[in-house]
Amino acid sequence: MTQSATKPTPRAHPGVDPACARCGGTSIHIIANGEVAQATQCECVRGCPKCDNTQFVRERIDGVPVLRRCECTQMVRLLERFSNAAIPGRMATKEMANFDFSRVSTNVVRTVSPYLANYRPDQMNPGIIFYGDVGRGKTHLMAAMIRSLMLTHGISARFIEFSHLLADLKSNFGRGEGAAALIEPLVQVDVLAIDELGKGRNTEFEGTVLDELVSRRYNAGRTILATTNYTPSSSQGVAVPEFTSGRRPALVDRVGDRVYSRLLEMCQMVHIDGQDYRQSLAEQRMHRGVGTRN
């Protein structure tokens, strides 16, 4: 049985068909456009009944007639913001409703549901770091949270995989460009989602980039969501796995004391347990294949 977290009511275009099966009454249709997810206005929206497609609504304030922008214009900006968030295309269909909370401990839904319900775009909001082994659904859950926050509150967000950011920075340097063009937007967005935190070769360059990103968001009081395969335990004294001894780094070993200390203050650590979802799917496909051959 799939248990769904409490989902705040998303914004919708005034002209949406509430019964639309395609968008679920949200007026937004999200698709994979190559490597990223893109938000488009659903075909059920035929126009705006509030402003008659003029984008302005007449109203009276203290008896004085004024024009204000119609709320349908907010949806245009929301679509643009969502498409600019760079959520991976493979995550286009991932939302809270199709995350199987029955696979993980009840602590996960008890953390995520109140977080989404209590998020306030006009205040400082804490972050969350989901940690656990591969295949547990950490990225699905983080992408679903970004989706919910953006569609509900219209906030700005960016999704990055840290190793991809490093590759982009190195490409910029190779062209004689600086890091500001890539780093600055990641500092300014309301919510930054970092996938695979701690991944990389643990070089000085990687540490410097991560330190700047986390420190600047820390100073600005802006939210970080993240996923990692490393545990928030005490230092193991190794920066890379020692396969012969079985020693595996902790998150602090991968990101450094300074960054780790700030993340502890900024974020709640949430363990995503359960079985490897990808392995379970592979086993199901294998069993179906065996049954077919028989």
Query: Which pLDDT score, from 0 to 100, does residue 291 have?
Result: 55
d(CA 202, CA 13): 46
pLDDT of 147 higher than 50: yes
3-state SS, the chain, equals CCCCCCCCCCCCCCCCCCCCCCCCCCCEEEEEECCEEEEEECCCCCCCCCCCCCCEEEEEECCEEEEEECCHHHHHHHHHHHHHCCCEHHHCCCCHHHCCHHHCCHHHHHHHHHHHHHCCCCCCCCEEEEECCCCCCHHHHHHHHHHHHHHHHCCCEEEEEHHHHHHHHHHHHHCCCCCHHHHHHHHHCCEEEEECCCCCCCCHHHHHHHHHHHHHHHHHCCEEEEEECCCCCCCCCCCCCECCCCECCCHHHHHCHHHHHHHHHHEEEEECCCCCHHHHHHHHHHHHHHHHHC
Report the range of poorest mean pLDDT among 68-77, 147-156, 175-184, 204-213: 175-184
Please tell me the predicted confidence (pLDDT) of residue 8: 66
Other C-beta atoms lying within 10 Å of the C-beta of residue 277: 16
- For the stretch 234-253, pLDDT in tens is 998 888 876 666 688 999 99
- As a CATH number, domain 79-279 is 3.40.50.300
Whether 202 shows a pLDDT value over 50: the answer reads yes
pLDDT reported for residue 241: 75
pLDDT > 50? residue 294:
no
Q: How far apart (Å, rounded) are the C-alpha atoms in residues 160 and 119?
A: 21
What are the distances in angstroms from CA 32 to CA 144, 261, 264? 14, 36, 34
Domain-wise residue ranges, the chain: 79-279
CA distance 238 to 257: 13
More confident residue, 179 or 104: 104
User: For residue 170, what pLDDT band results from cuts at 50, 70 and 90?
Assistant: confident
β-sheet bridge partners, residue 36: 33, 88
Return phi, psi of residue 61, to 5°.
Answer: -120, 115
* pTM for the whole structure: 0.86
Closest CA to 262 of 226, 238, 286: 226
Across residues 121-147, what is the average pLDDT? 95
Q: Is the pLDDT of residue 229 over 60?
A: yes
Q: How high does pLDDT run on average in the chain?
A: 89
Give the model confidence (pLDDT) of 79-119 as tens digits.
Answer: 999 999 999 999 999 999 999 998 898 999 999 999 999 99
Report percent pLDDT > 90 for the chain: 63
φ/ψ (deg, to 5) at 138:
-65, -45
pLDDT for position 2: 44
Q: What is the mean pLDDT of residues 159-177?
A: 85
Where do we find the tokens 């249709």? 29
Mean pLDDT of 222-227: 98
pLDDT digits (tens, 9 = 90+) for 34-73: 999 999 999 999 999 999 999 999 888 888 889 999 989 9
Q: What is the model's pLDDT at position 1? A: 37
